[in-house]
Chains A and B, each alone.
Chain A
Amino acid sequence: MNESLSRIVIMAEMHGRDLIRRHIAIGLLVALPLSFYFSSVGEGRDAVGTGGVAMAFAVGGATVFSALSSMEVDQRLVMSGYRPLELLIGRLLFLCPFGVVISGIFTAVMSPISHPDDLGVLLLGVCAVAAVAVPFGIAVAAVVPRELEATLVLIGVVGIQLAVRHTSTVAKALPFYGPRLLIEAGLTGRGGIAAPLLEGAFYAVALLLVARVFVGPRLSVTATRS
């Protein structure tokens, strides 16, 4: 296997092992969006949008904790021979499939209760929440590298996205607007898919770039060899 690829795979494996062992934290993070969904399910099908976007708490939160718990290790890993980009890709390689699995479970819980018109698009929307939540968590951890502050930013952004009407200007400027539109499209069977997907992809890439800009200097190891 290519050296760089093998380093990426090892990083994904180790992030996975580290995160999977945080049983209680993961349980709580998954319980949070489920509680959002079940507490609003009596008010109609909007509960799916609420629960779906609230899943960003689970995936984004897991990402923030994964990124921050390895902060002290990361520079040492770079010193041992890893490239910062390999660390980032390794993290994504575990977290993205992890987010997709949680999305699948979450969609499986919601569909028999809320009966979406297009299950496939709903699953796509919930997966899109996860796909944006991972870069969002990485970017938040990069810009605000302390657990309390990072968690507050996560709660703030996802909370505002949940609180404002999805037609408002503020909602449209936030990262989970595209995924929310997809969830709505899955629920009602109406609405486009391409534009929300593109918007989600744009946010994901932009957030990764932000993370790269902030983390790069922090991880740099000065070449001092004579």
Chain B
Amino acid sequence: MAETADQLVVEGVSKAYRHAIVLDRVSMSVAGGEIVALTGENGAGKSTLMRICAGLLRADSGRVRVAGAVGYCPQTPGLFELLTADEHLVMFGRGLGLGRTTALRRGHELLDEFGFPVGARVVTAEMSGGTRQKLNLAVALLGDPGLLLLDEPYQGFDRGTYVNFWDHCRTWSDAGRAVVVVTHMLAELGRADRIVELPSHPTQDRL
């Protein structure tokens, strides 16, 4: 699908934690139908930028604009340890304005795509890392967002699921979504339409 209007525009965003500059006037934009790989060294501010774009963290300066709903998949799954997948779907679905039945139906479709054991009465604490990440990803997609912010969402995935994940990214972008994936996997960078590399900052070396 051809790229459409910008779903995400970042203009001159800066962020510092105490004495460390993490982001220094970062600008980027992502159009609908585009997959952008966000790379950079440890501490370059990739996760910080994702959190700012998702609205979870305030930038010190600069501006972020998004065109519609945002689906954010954090590096560490923000899930209840003792709730099942279905309970998470119902809970997050309600926030998105979905009824119990709709949230479960839509969530099961997503989980099924990732090869998640749908319907299992297993709580998050008893899931493997990869299975937990699949649920994390499904929760991010539940509201059918136009912009997907995925912060290393494939941690714990086996090889097959990992390859499928990039296929899914293409499917999502073909459907017109803007997809931003934080990644260190150099071998897969070719599967992104564009690479944005965040520079590291001299002040970080002192930490």
Q: Which chain A residues have a beta carbon within 8 Å of chain B's beta carbons?
A: 3, 6-7, 10-11, 14, 17-18, 21-22, 69-70, 72-73, 75-77, 79-82, 221-226
Contacts and interface: CB of A to CB of B under 8 A. Distances in A.
Contacts of A226: 9, 65-67
A222 B83 CA distance: 28
Contacts of A224: 53, 55, 64-66
Contact of A69 (B65, B80, B95): B80
A221 B55 contact: yes
Contacts, number: 79
Contacts of B82: 17-18, 21-22, 69
Question: Most chain-B CB neighbours within 10 Å: which of A80, A81, A223?
Answer: A80
B62 to A, nearest CB: 11
A14 B67 contact: no
Nearest to A15: B80
9 contacts: A3-B97, A10-B90, A14-B83, A18-B83, A69-B80, A79-B70, A79-B72, A224-B64, A226-B65
A203 to B, nearest CB: 29
A22 B125 CA distance: 12
Nearest to A223: B55
B96 interface: yes
User: Does more than half of chain A's interface fall in helix, strand or loop, or is it mixed?
Assistant: helix
Query: Chain B: interface residue count, which band?
Result: 20 to 34
Contact of A77 (B9, B55, B87, B95): B95
B115 to A, nearest CB: 23
Nearest to B80: A18
Given A18-B82, A76-B74, 8 more contacts: A21-B123, A22-B82, A72-B78, A76-B72, A80-B143, A222-B58, A222-B64, A226-B9
B61 interface: no
B79 interface: yes
B86 to A, nearest CB: 11
B109 interface: no
Contact of B76 (A18, A72, A79, A80): A72
B118 interface: no
Contacts of A80: 92, 95-96, 142-143
A10 B94 contact: yes
A70 B79 CA distance: 8
Given A22-B82, A69-B80, A70-B80, A14 B66 contact: no
Contact of A17 (B58, B64, B79, B87): B87
